[in-house]
Structure 1
Amino acid sequence: MVKIYTLTLSPSLDSATVTPQIYPEGKLRCSAPMFEPGGGGINVARAITYLGGNATAIFPAGGATGEHLVSLLTEEKVPVETINAEDWTRQNLHVHVESSGEQYRFVMPGARLSEKEFHQLEEKVLAIESGAILVISGSLPPGVDTAKLTQLIRHAQGNGLRCIVDSSGDALLAALEPGNLELVKPNQKELSALVNRELSQPDDVRTAAQELVQSGKAHRVVVSLGPQGALAVDKTGFVQVVPPPMKSQSTVGAGDSMVGAMTLKLAQGASLLEMTRYGVAAGSAATINQGTRLCSLADTQKIVDYLASQ
């Protein structure tokens, strides 16, 4: 099977806790924190591992938080390739409030990447064998502008890598500049920004996604539509996959689980329908977990079987 690598420029050490209620100024008594790896590409690699695949996570690791992050991935048997960063890896906090069921996500700024550190990451990317899939996912940290991202993708494609991008805003726009991406996964709002117009009707979303494919920006565009699942487009046509009604506990890991599942199927040469169905199933499987947990193979397969029977 085609080898898979992920690149996370802004990784994190994520901690999750539970508190009975939340209010200002007073001391909020919390449960013992649970620590998990975080960052777009890292979570994509983890999801692929959970689904029985294999993906190597490339990222900068700095300080004690970076060491903790690497150790957690080692425990999960996710292969890593890291560079030593001067700034400590950021730590995010996820709080679940028992009394209301509300969730609060405190996301810290990414650790700054120096010119030298970015170049070291780029060298690792350019050492990947031709024909492999590279997933670039997550936000850009301080010190990395969109021009560097565009340049990185061009160099990677020049070395024969098949690039998948999951980002937002200016970073997503910059990633599309080189064209020929294997897959992008915007939501409806992000797709609207890419085509610079409102997408108020269902057909508007399909048309906009088809425009990205026809322009050569990406071979496949999968638009995540929340409870409505996803609309996927390639040069041969389009499909929409709607997940079964489920009680959502948390949407934190849904997007990364979806990208991981679709990447795994893409590496296996699956059709657009199979890829999208597996992605929607994995994303839905992640939502039935509390906190920051990703999809599981068992839950994903149950949902795939349901979708295939419809």
Structure 2
Amino acid sequence: MRTVRRSSTGPPMNAPAIVTLTMNTALDVTADAERVVPTEKIRCRTVRYDPGGGGVNVAKFAAALGVPAAAVFTAGGSTGSRVVDLMDVPGVTTIPVEIAGPTRESFTVSEGASGEQYRFVLPGPALSADEQARCLDTVRRAAVSAQFVVASGSLPPGVPPQFYQRVADMCRDTGARLILDASGGGLRHVTSGVHVLKPSLRELRECVGRELQTEAEQLDAALELIDRGVTDAVVVSLGARGALSVTSAGAERLPAVAVPVVSSVGAGDAMVAGIVAGLVCGWPLSKAVRYGIAAATAKLQTPGTAVFDRDAVEHHFESSRRLRPAR
């Protein structure tokens, strides 16, 4: 497997502003079926394959927004080779880290009869200590001149829950600012060094160990993480309710843009891509979050983890200006 591949358009890119890290890469398989029922064979159609995993998606989406990105991701076996081939994306520098185990597959079926989606996510291959160290070293070298590192997605088997704290420490050493979108133990074991933390409401609950039934409780939980020095800011994605943006200076709930949904897969990654693209442009966080919501909205209208249309993002971003923020 090739260790480094550059974007196929133009000369090799110099120091992209964004470096993403995906420890648990996936080959995303998306298909349609009329009905999903137990015990029977489900005849699928309209099958598509996309490179996936949190950081991989963020890099694709950031590039679609006009911000070049470098994607560091694990890749192993035939599925890993397929992901590398599919990552021949304009605006993305691909940096696969070869691993012994095969890259996982994730399978999503959209049921025509109900409009529901069924998502099957495999755990991924176990990573050795040497493979983990090579991932961290690769990110360190790629991030030396980057403005932002985006670490996104689950940690695969064998990777200790403290791994993302090691990424945060590395970012502190290189001067890059860390955007973290993680869940479970990988999030709970981060204690410092994050610039923007982007949990879903479920992930925020997991992080603080409380139900967080009201918006006031959600705000308190976000401020708790800021006060503890875990992060400078928290952006909680709230699905159809938009997002809650919190810093020590204040909080704002930014509404969603209502659209017909084709697929929700990758919408959170699109939000992260929009946020970091806005921050690269020097925007304040609230404006960057609005751009992230616009990118997530455009992603909801595309199948699988396919890249959205940038014009759709700009349209939704302009539409969001007319929506009153909830404070």
TM-score (norm 1): 0.93
Q: Please tell me whether the aligned partners of residues 57 and 78 of structure 1 are also in contact (alpha carbons under 8 angstroms).
A: yes
Change (3 A) 1:291 1:208: same
2:169 maps to what in 1? 154
Give per-residue Cα distances to partners, 1:193-225, cap 9 Å, x unaligned: 333333222222222212222332111100111
2:24 maps to what in 1? 10
Q: How many residue pairs are counted as aligned between the two chains?
A: 308
2:67 maps to what in 1? 53
Q: 1:134 aligns with which of 149, 161, 170?
A: 149
Moved more, 198-207 or 4-13: 198-207
Letter of the aligned partner of 1:132 in structure 2?
Q
Q: Please tell me whether the aligned partners of residues 253 and 295 of structure 1 are also in contact (alpha carbons under 8 angstroms).
A: no
Task: Name the SS of the counterpart of 1:219 in structure 2.
Answer: strand
Task: Name the SS of the counterpart of 2:106 in structure 1.
Answer: strand
Query: Is 1:245–2:258 an aligned residue pair?
Result: yes
Higher percent of residues as helix: 1
Deviation at 1:135, TM superposition (A): 0.6
Query: Is 1:208–2:215 an aligned residue pair?
Result: no
Deviation at 1:243, TM superposition (A): 1.7
Task: Name the SS of the counterpart of 1:222 in structure 2.
Answer: strand
Equivalent runs, 1:29-40 vs 2, <5 Å: 29-40=43-54
Q: Please tell me whether the aligned partners of residues 260 and 301 of structure 2 are also in contact (alpha carbons under 8 angstroms).
A: yes
Deviation at 1:62, TM superposition (A): 0.8
Query: Is 1:170–2:185 an aligned residue pair?
Result: yes
Give per-residue Cα distances to partners, 1:55-102, cap 9 Å, x unaligned: 111011111111110111114552111121111111121111222222
Task: Name the SS of the counterpart of 2:127 in structure 1.
Answer: coil
Q: 2:294 aligns with which of 249, 268, 281?
A: 281
Task: Name the SS of the counterpart of 2:194 in structure 1.
Answer: coil
Deviation at 1:306, TM superposition (A): 0.8
Query: Is 1:21–2:41 an aligned residue pair?
Result: no
Deviation at 1:264, TM superposition (A): 1.0
1:297 maps to what in 2? 310
Q: 1:86 aligns with which of 91, 100, 106?
A: 100
Moved more, 286-295 or 215-224: 286-295
Task: Name the SS of the counterpart of 2:23 in structure 1.
Answer: coil
Q: 1:100 aligns with which of 114, 117, 128?
A: 114
Give per-residue Cα distances to partners, 1:245-288, cap 9 Å, x unaligned: 22222211110000011011112211122111101111122112
C-alpha RMSD over aligned residues? 1.9
Q: 2:230 aligns with which of 194, 217, 221?
A: 217
Task: Name the SS of the counterpart of 1:291 in structure 2.
Answer: coil
Task: Name the SS of the counterpart of 1:33 in structure 2.
Answer: strand
CA distance in 2, matches of 1:107, 1:293: 17
CA distance in 1, matches of 2:140, 2:248: 29
CA distance in 2, matches of 1:192, 1:109: 22
CA distance in 2, matches of 1:209, 1:256: 20
Give runs of ≥4 in structure 1 deviating > 4 Å.
Answer: none
Letter of the aligned partner of 2:116 in structure 1?
E
2:202 maps to what in 1? 189
Q: Please tell me whether the aligned partners of residues 253 and 294 of structure 1 are also in contact (alpha carbons under 8 angstroms).
A: no
Moved more, 186-195 or 218-227: 186-195
What's the % identity of the aligned pairs? 35
Where does structure 2 lack aligned partners over 5 or more consecutive residues? 1-14
Q: Please tell me whether the aligned partners of residues 2 and 268 of structure 1 are also in contact (alpha carbons under 8 angstroms).
A: no
CA distance in 2, matches of 1:193, 1:92: 23
Q: Please tell me whether the aligned partners of residues 163 and 186 of structure 2 are also in contact (alpha carbons under 8 angstroms).
A: no
Q: Please tell me whether the aligned partners of residues 19 and 72 of structure 2 are also in contact (alpha carbons under 8 angstroms).
A: yes
Deviation at 1:2, TM superposition (A): 7.0
Change (3 A) 1:25 1:205: closer
TM-score (norm 2): 0.88
CA distance in 1, matches of 2:194, 2:185: 16
Task: Name the SS of the counterpart of 1:280 in structure 2.
Answer: helix
Give per-residue Cα distances to partners, 1:29-62, cap 9 Å, x unaligned: 2215211011001001111011111111101111
Moved more, 104-113 or 142-151: 142-151
Moved more, 20-29 or 120-129: 20-29
